[in-house]
């Protein structure tokens, strides 16, 4: 049963939601969230990897600050958008929904409460802080149902760059994952031969962090409670 929402809803995007939100919205503007930072801290076995070759996706982790995009969704569309986001994000329970205060960078200096997807640190897919070279190899060698992991990294960094958001560690990560891709990014290209890079590096040692069989089921209660699906 879909529950109607009585007011407009704000959504905070910091990863793929910045460049592929997938839902209708009334406005979108740059926004800042304090107390959390953007990090490749989640081992992905669905969107950007598989159980045999996990990739990495971004999560909101504790500490620091994060610049992203805030979307305002009309009340009449909010229930449908929340259902869509839960089906997209709450696959294994590695994210939890949180209501966080974000500062809008639209000149209004408004602070609004937005829904954001925060990493669940006790989940077995949470890998914490890893050396950039480990992250780079795991990213360039992975592909999931949403495409190559390297494309995910490049699209995120390109959006941050065009938005005027500096993330030096992510730029360094691109250079480590695929040096020629870093050149393409500087030239403004949006696509690289990620599949070829993945094949060329397939022989390298695999440092990917894997989830033990059955562990993910312990975290799916949020999916069931929110009406999401385990796809």
Residues assigned a catalytic role: 89
Relative to beta strand 9-13, strand 111-119 is: parallel
Whole-angstrom distance, CA of residue 153 vs CA of residue 99: 26
CA atoms of 104 and 166, how far apart (whole Å): 17
Nearest by Cα to 83 from 9, 19, 7: 9
Phi, psi (degrees; rounded to nearest 5) at 6: -85, -10
CA 10/CA 74 separation, integer angstroms: 9
The separation between CA 42 and the C-alpha centre of its own chain, rounded to angstroms, equals: 9
> Alpha-carbon distance 150 to 156, whole Å?
10
* Residue partners of 185: CB distance under 8 A and separation at least 6: 154, 157, 158, 161, 174
Q: Token pair 């490749």 is at which residue?
A: 40
């Amino acid at each position: 049963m879909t529950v109607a929402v009585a007011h407009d809803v704000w959504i905070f995007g910091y990863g793929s939601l910045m460049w592929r939100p997938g839902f209708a919205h009334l406005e979108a503007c740059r926004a800042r969230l304090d107390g959390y930072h953007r990090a490749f801290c989640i081992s992905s076995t669905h969107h950007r990897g598989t159980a045999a070759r996990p990739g990495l996706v971004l999560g909101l982790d504790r500490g620091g600050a994060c610049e992203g995009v805030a979307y305002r969704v009309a009340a009449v569309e909010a229930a449908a958008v929340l259902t869509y986001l839960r089906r997209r994000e709450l696959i294994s329970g590695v994210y939890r929904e949180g209501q966080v205060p974000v500062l809008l960078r639209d000149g209004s200096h408004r602070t609004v409460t937005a829904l954001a997807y925060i990493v669940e640190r006790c989940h077995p897919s949470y890998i914490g802080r890893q050396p950039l070279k480990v992250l780079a190899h795991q990213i360039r060698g992975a592909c999931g149902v949403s495409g190559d992991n390297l494309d995910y990294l490049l699209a995120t960094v390109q959006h941050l760059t065009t938005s005027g958001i500096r993330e030096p560690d992510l730029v360094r990560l691109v250079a480590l994952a695929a040096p020629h891709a870093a050149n393409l990014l500087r030239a403004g290209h949006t696509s690289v031969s990620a599949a070829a890079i993945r094949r060329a590096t397939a022989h390298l040692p695999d440092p990917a962090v894997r989830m033990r069989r059955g562990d993910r089921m312990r975290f799916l209660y949020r999916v069931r409670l929110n009406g999401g699906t385990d796809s």
